[in-house]
A and B are shown apart, each in its own frame.
Chain A
């Protein structure tokens, strides 16, 4: 059984009389432990698809099966549970809580799965360390640079040891050096902990870290092939 199975997923946004077909019948299968890069021009439906994979949004038609379960059959709280312990999500726009320290932002997913306060703190500190933000635990988002905020968002996705990490342009605000550090981290998580990673990127050198590249255009998959390692 595949980890992720997308069966003919479409997404139609209705804006008044205008209908936007953000996704047109996307079908694909992703196995456990894979490392996938999604590429494509702006507006091609990458984020829309990623939101559906992350159980944040629902498809207009089609089915999304996670570990064999049709997510359409799950209620709000069951979906919340999946977002909490199965998926680590890095948002395109970070989505950090304002007026809240980096540490507490990273702790947030743990708040909702009954881990003790002490253990929460411990795990959050470890995750922040992994993204190179040691010593910034007490900083609020406004006191951090764009790249640092992005790394807090990545730490939050790592903190609950989820088997799947979905990252929407995780290196979009990072310099080349930090970008490659983050990508090395993803590669390590993928290799050593067998974590499935799906990330969206516009840069082919970032995509090169993955093992399979899926290309979107106007809401459709136009290309899906493994990366040839040199």
Chain B
């Protein structure tokens, strides 16, 4: 019969006798567990941020930009020459089966004035479908309609940042603002969306009907010109199909010969972001794996100290055996010692890891997320480390011959 409470007491006493040694051994585990938790927190924070950004730009989104990425060997920035029209957008919606919705966009930066306040921001002329394409919604008021686009009404939807800067406490709905000195009536406020993947404030924007932007604000190089066309595919799986269909359709519409380069570019933002998300996950795993190595080293430290301890206390083991300690009495004594070392180290390591990741996010400005799972994982892993690395020394101790152990000098 094994006397667990007494065995625990014996183990604790042995650890207390060698305080410094116990503390240093624990330090290995503290560093290991702390590193695992902090690294996982950094990785989880990064991938969480990316997936937030993916959903903030709108899911299954493709963007068609004018201009080729390369033209005759010369790299041209996409979007340098206007080649896209309102008609292109309509054709994409009508003729590409994998496309759910489109939103053409003609935008520019303009000075906005309300009363004695003014603010400079991006004004985007678009169609009502932009809300569907960008997974955006109206917080207050209502959106403009197809009819507004047809008749080039002077109405505007404001982003939250614009509202904050122009209106403060005043309710903006129904108020008249001046964009480039043209009066617009505010009819709706967009919900808050936060930062874009590139760190821009997506709420610092104004939406107006496309035709109003073309005719009253920015003018066009040719009739119906738009800067970009945002396209929402029907599904994530359909993104590549949609990309192909759009490319084929626009090549045909722009009369581009088989040997000629495209005069437009299709960007698959979702795919780019998913690739980024994937690589962040891999990075998280890598960081975790590297940190685990230090936990392993900590475990070897425990084993080392336990082996020393077994050798040092051979006579003690002999005495215990001589008065009746059985195999598992001896084994448990040393395993409990090892597990105590690793668990106390583990708890301290969790504290170190959590505060470490706080410090990282403060200093480096990275989002870190300590998941309860990683804490649970680190804690049980450190317990396992104790059992695993404690077992061999304990096993070795339990196999000693009582008389040899007693005679050990």
Among B5, B6, B319, B406, which residue has its beta carbon within 8 angstroms of that of A97?
A: B319
Is A21 in contact with chain B by the CB < 8 A criterion? no
Is B315 in contact with chain A by the CB < 8 A criterion? yes
User: Contact: A111 with B322, CB < 8 Å?
Assistant: no
When A111-B6, A112-B329, A114-B3 are in contact, do A85 and B406 touch as well, CB less than 8 Å? no
Tell me the chain B residues, 103-160 only, with Cβ under 8 Å from chain A: none
A112 to B5, CA, bound (A): 12
Is B326 in contact with chain A by the CB < 8 A criterion? yes
Q: In the complex, which residues of chain A have a beta carbon less than 8 angstroms from the beta carbon of B322?
A: 54, 56, 83, 89, 91, 95
Q: In the complex, which residues of chain A have a beta carbon less than 8 angstroms from the beta carbon of B406?
A: 56, 91, 95
Is B17 in contact with chain A by the CB < 8 A criterion? yes
Q: Which residue of B lies closest to A112 (CB)?
A: B324
Q: Which residue of A lies closest to B3 (CB)?
A: A111
Among B5, B325, B401, which residue has its beta carbon within 8 angstroms of that of A80?
A: B325
User: Contact: A112 with B403, CB < 8 Å?
Assistant: no
Tell me the chain B residues, 381-409 only, with Cβ under 8 Å from chain A: 401-403, 406
A85 to B319, CA, bound (A): 15
Per-residue interface assignment for chain A, residues 76 to 99, with 1 indicating a CB less than 8 Å from any chain B CB and 0 otherwise: 110011011100010100011111
User: Contact: B323 with A76, CB < 8 Å?
Assistant: no
When A77-B326, A77-B327, A114-B3 are in contact, do A95 and B321 touch as well, CB less than 8 Å? no
User: Contact: A95 with B315, CB < 8 Å?
Assistant: yes
A66 to B320, CA, bound (A): 22
Query: How many of chain A's residues have a CB under 8 angstroms from any CB in B?
Result: 27
Per-residue interface assignment for chain A, residues 99 to 118, with 1 indicating a CB less than 8 Å from any chain B CB and 0 otherwise: 10000000011011110010
User: Contact: A112 with B319, CB < 8 Å?
Assistant: no
User: Contact: A85 with B316, CB < 8 Å?
Assistant: no
CB distance from A88 to the nearest CB of B (A): 9
Among B1, B319, B402, which residue has its beta carbon within 8 angstroms of that of A114?
A: B1
Q: In the complex, which residues of chain B have a beta carbon less than 8 angstroms from the beta carbon of A96?
A: 319
Q: In the complex, which residues of chain B have a beta carbon less than 8 angstroms from the beta carbon of A108?
A: 319-320, 323
User: Contact: B17 with A112, CB < 8 Å?
Assistant: no
User: Contact: B323 with A83, CB < 8 Å?
Assistant: yes
Tell me the chain A residues, 151-168 only, with Cβ under 8 Å from chain B: 156, 160
Query: How many of chain B's residues have a CB under 8 angstroms from any CB in A?
Result: 22
Q: Which residue of B lies closest to A113 (CB)?
A: B324
Per-residue interface assignment for chain B, residues 313 to 337, with 1 indicating a CB less than 8 Å from any chain A CB and 0 otherwise: 0011011111111110100000000
Q: In the complex, which residues of chain A have a beta carbon less than 8 angstroms from the beta carbon of B315?
A: 95
User: Contact: A83 with B324, CB < 8 Å?
Assistant: yes
Is A31 in contact with chain B by the CB < 8 A criterion? no
Q: In the complex, which residues of chain B have a beta carbon less than 8 angstroms from the beta carbon of A95?
A: 315, 318-319, 322, 406
A91 to B322, CA, bound (A): 10
A77 to B326, CA, bound (A): 5
A57 to B402, CA, bound (A): 7
Q: Which residue of A lies closest to B404 (CB)?
A: A57
User: Contact: A85 with B403, CB < 8 Å?
Assistant: no
When A51-B403, A97-B316 are in contact, do A81 and B324 touch as well, CB less than 8 Å? yes
A85 to B17, CA, bound (A): 30
Among A81, A83, A99, which residue has its beta carbon within 8 angstroms of that of B17?
A: A99
CB distance from A100 to the nearest CB of B (A): 8
User: Contact: A84 with B323, CB < 8 Å?
Assistant: yes
Q: In the complex, which residues of chain A have a beta carbon less than 8 angstroms from the beta carbon of B321?
A: 80, 83
Interface residues of A (CB under 8 A from B): 51, 54, 56-57, 76-77, 80-81, 83-85, 89, 91, 95-99, 108-109, 111-114, 117, 156, 160
Q: List 27 A-B contacts (CB under 8 A).
A: A51-B403, A54-B322, A56-B403, A56-B406, A57-B402, A76-B326, A76-B327, A77-B326, A80-B324, A80-B325, A83-B323, A83-B324, A84-B323, A84-B324, A85-B324, A89-B323, A95-B318, A96-B319, A108-B320, A108-B323, A109-B323, A111-B325, A112-B323, A112-B324, A112-B325, A112-B326, A112-B329
10 A-B pairs with the lowest CB-CB distances in the bound complex, closest first: A84-B324, A114-B1, A109-B323, A112-B324, A57-B403, A77-B326, A56-B403, A80-B326, A56-B402, A83-B324
Additional A-B contact list (18), CB under 8 Å, known A56-B406, A85-B324, A95-B318: A56-B403, A76-B327, A80-B324, A80-B325, A80-B327, A81-B324, A83-B321, A84-B323, A89-B323, A95-B322, A97-B316, A108-B320, A111-B6, A111-B325, A112-B3, A112-B324, A113-B1, A156-B323
